[in-house]
Structure 1
Amino acid sequence: MNRWLRHHRYALAVALRRLRLHPFSSLANIVVIALMLAVPILGASVLQSSQPLARQLAVAPELTLFLKAGTPPTAQQALLARVREEAGARIAQARLIPRDRAMAQLRADPTWARALDALPDNPLPDALIVTLRDSAAPAREAADLAQAWRQWPEVEEIQLDSEWVRRLESLLSFVRMGLGMLAGAVVIVVLATVFNTVRLQALTQREEIAVARLVGATESFVRRPFLYLGALTGLAASLLALLLAWLALTPLNTILGGFARSYGLDWAIRLPAAPDLLLSGLLVALLGAIAARLSVTRRTRF
């Protein structure tokens, strides 16, 4: 056990020494990887912070069922009871708005009062307004209910007030897909950058590696410092990417905060949770080690 720890301590010390011996090239590689990592971190921050914003934005999705002219009050009450019974827990509220009450509400607004006085009779239909509960896919839920309720004989037309929800869901789905593709690009950049860096390191250390092999160094002993070099490069790039993302969020939140407050919203973009950031940093370090392993496998055999 002590021998194993001593070997890994030695490999880590060699990797740190090689980073110090080539500070400019090491820093350039770290900056390149960090810039690529900062973009998905910012994207994940926006996506995560947009979830509560969707709940703060307007009201829950509503469906307005316009009833056919001449539907008697008893049939309207029966329809209201049927909606509550069949929709069940999916709805938060269902209320009936008779045409006379709707007209009275419009007449109470001075903007509409004069225009309504010119009408010979009440043109408004009786309406049933259904407010849905919050769910994972409110737009799809509203569309399914509307499709079922359109088949009812008392319903003339249904208006969905959830178009904004559908658009927001589409936008968030697009962002998730974009982040997935960006994560794939980051993996390629990390692998290619670390692979090329370690390959150049191995070429410059050919004589040192050859001497080590002559005195009995094993393949794993020679390769281990390069693996630590790749892992340290990925870890340093992750820390720098986190710092860059944090610095970028400061001016962004200043601008977005004022914009959100003008709409009565409290919104700020925050970095993902610490466990997620730690896991992503470890994954990048692992990718660096894998790239180094692929690079030195054929370069250290003499």
Structure 2
Amino acid sequence: MRTWLRHHQYAFLVALRRLKVQPFSSLSNLLVIALTLAVPVLGASILLAAQPVVREIPTSPEMTVFMKQNSTLEQAQAFSQAVGKEFQAELANVRLVSKEQALKQLQSNPSWTDALGALPSNPLPHAIVLTLHETPDLVTRADSLAKTLQTRDGVDSVLLDSEWVQRLAAILSFIRIGLWILMAGVGVVVIATVFNTVRLQALNQREEIAVARLVGATEAFVRRPFLYMGALTGLLASALACGLALLALTPLNKALSSLAQSYGVQLTLSLPEFSLLLTAAILVAILGALAARWSVTRSTQY
């Protein structure tokens, strides 16, 4: 056991020494990997900050049916009663908003007073607001009902009030998939960078490795310092990436604060949880070690 620990201690110290021997090259490699890693870290920060906001948005299961402009109030009332009876099992409430009521609501807003005063007549249609029951398949049912009502006589258009929330959820899903693809690209960058670094180190020490083999050094003993070098590169680059992402969050939060306040919400970007960052760093270190093993095996074959 002591021998095993001594071998690993020796390999670790050799890896550190090799990183110190060429500081500029080591720092360049660390910066390349760190900058690449910082991008998905920032993306994850934005995604994690946006998800609670989306969950807190009230998604009332309502749709609004706008009647054609030439429809009378009696026709709108008859249509609302017919819809209420036909879809009684799906609807929690049916409410008719006449064009006169809609106009009065707009006129109560000072910003619309001048514009409405310049119109010769009421341009608003009669509207019927339908409230649906909350069910797991609400989105599917709402879409189906909207398409059905759109084909009815006298209906001009149907508006789903939660459409923009669904679009926002779709955008977040797109970002999530993009982050997974980006992380796969980051893995390729880590492997390529560590592979080339270890390859150069192995080629420079090829004669030293050959002599070590001649005096009885095992393949594991030869590879071990390079494996530690790859793992250390991954860990140091991950720590540097977190630092760069944290620095970038400061100006981003300042810009986001004014934007969020204009919408009346509180939104702050922060790094993902420490456990997630640690898991990601360990995965990057494992990738670095695997890339180093692959590189030293290919570069020291005789």
The two structures share one fold, judged by TM-score above 0.5: yes
Corresponding residue number in structure 1 for 2:230 = 230
Matched, 1:125 2:120: no
Structure 1 residue 149, shift from structure 2 partner: 4.5
CA contact (8 A) 1:231 1:287 kept: yes
Structure 2 CA distance for aligned equivalents of residues 227 and 76 of structure 1: 73
CA contact (8 A) 2:29 2:193 kept: yes
Matched, 1:97 2:101: no
Structure 2 CA distance for aligned equivalents of residues 35 and 221 of structure 1: 32
Matched, 1:280 2:280: yes
- Provide the alpha-carbon RMSD of the alignment: 3.5
Matched, 1:85 2:86: no
Structure 1 residue 77, shift from structure 2 partner: 5.3
Structure 1 CA distance for aligned equivalents of residues 115 and 198 of structure 2: 79
Matched, 1:187 2:191: no
Task: Classify the secondary structure of the residue corresponding to 1:176.
Answer: helix
Structure 1 CA distance for aligned equivalents of residues 16 and 135 of structure 2: 53
5+ residue gaps in structure 1?
Answer: 88-92
**Letter aligned with residue 268 of structure 1:** T
CA contact (8 A) 1:142 1:162 kept: no
Task: Report how many aligned residue pairs link the two structures.
Answer: 295
Structure 1 residue 74, shift from structure 2 partner: 8.0
Q: Deviations over 1:111-137 (max 9, x none)?
A: 289759965x99742512437869899
Q: Deviations over 1:64-110 (max 9, x none)?
A: 024675358687457447656326xxxxx745134265455456557
CA contact (8 A) 1:231 1:288 kept: yes
Task: Classify the secondary structure of the residue corresponding to 1:297.
Answer: helix
More deviation, 217-226/259-268: 259-268
* Seq. identity, %: 50
5+ residue gaps in structure 2?
Answer: none
CA contact (8 A) 1:8 1:224 kept: yes
Structure 1 residue 43, shift from structure 2 partner: 1.3
Structure 1 residue 256, shift from structure 2 partner: 0.9
Matched, 1:248 2:231: no
CA contact (8 A) 2:77 2:96 kept: no
Structure 2 CA distance for aligned equivalents of residues 135 and 26 of structure 1: 54
Taking a change above 3 Å as real, the CA distance of residues 19 and 224 of structure 1, as seen in their structure-2 partners, is same
More deviation, 291-300/140-149: 140-149
Q: Where do 1:33-72 residues align within 5 Å?
A: 33-55=33-55, 60=60, 62-66=62-66, 69=72, 70-71=74-75
Structure 1 residue 150, shift from structure 2 partner: 4.1
Taking a change above 3 Å as real, the CA distance of residues 242 and 124 of structure 1, as seen in their structure-2 partners, is same
Taking a change above 3 Å as real, the CA distance of residues 179 and 16 of structure 1, as seen in their structure-2 partners, is same
Corresponding residue number in structure 2 for 1:30 = 30
Structure 1 residue 285, shift from structure 2 partner: 0.6
Structure 2 CA distance for aligned equivalents of residues 137 and 245 of structure 1: 39
Corresponding residue number in structure 1 for 2:3 = 3
Structure 2 CA distance for aligned equivalents of residues 220 and 44 of structure 1: 38
Task: Classify the secondary structure of the residue corresponding to 2:272.
Answer: coil
TM-score in terms of structure 2 length: 0.81
Structure 1 CA distance for aligned equivalents of residues 255 and 134 of structure 2: 32
Taking a change above 3 Å as real, the CA distance of residues 137 and 251 of structure 1, as seen in their structure-2 partners, is farther
Structure 2 CA distance for aligned equivalents of residues 191 and 17 of structure 1: 21
Taking a change above 3 Å as real, the CA distance of residues 177 and 185 of structure 1, as seen in their structure-2 partners, is same
More deviation, 237-246/45-54: 45-54
More deviation, 73-82/217-226: 73-82
TM-score in terms of structure 1 length: 0.81
Q: Deviations over 1:126-180 (max 9, x none)?
A: 5124378698996x66434423544677966422234433442343344234323
Structure 1 CA distance for aligned equivalents of residues 260 and 76 of structure 2: 46
Matched, 1:169 2:173: no
Corresponding residue number in structure 1 for 2:15 = 15
Structure 1 CA distance for aligned equivalents of residues 254 and 191 of structure 2: 36
Structure 1 CA distance for aligned equivalents of residues 60 and 235 of structure 2: 43
CA contact (8 A) 1:34 1:238 kept: yes
CA contact (8 A) 1:132 1:142 kept: no
More deviation, 54-63/287-296: 54-63
Structure 1 residue 230, shift from structure 2 partner: 0.3
Taking a change above 3 Å as real, the CA distance of residues 85 and 208 of structure 1, as seen in their structure-2 partners, is same
Taking a change above 3 Å as real, the CA distance of residues 130 and 18 of structure 1, as seen in their structure-2 partners, is same
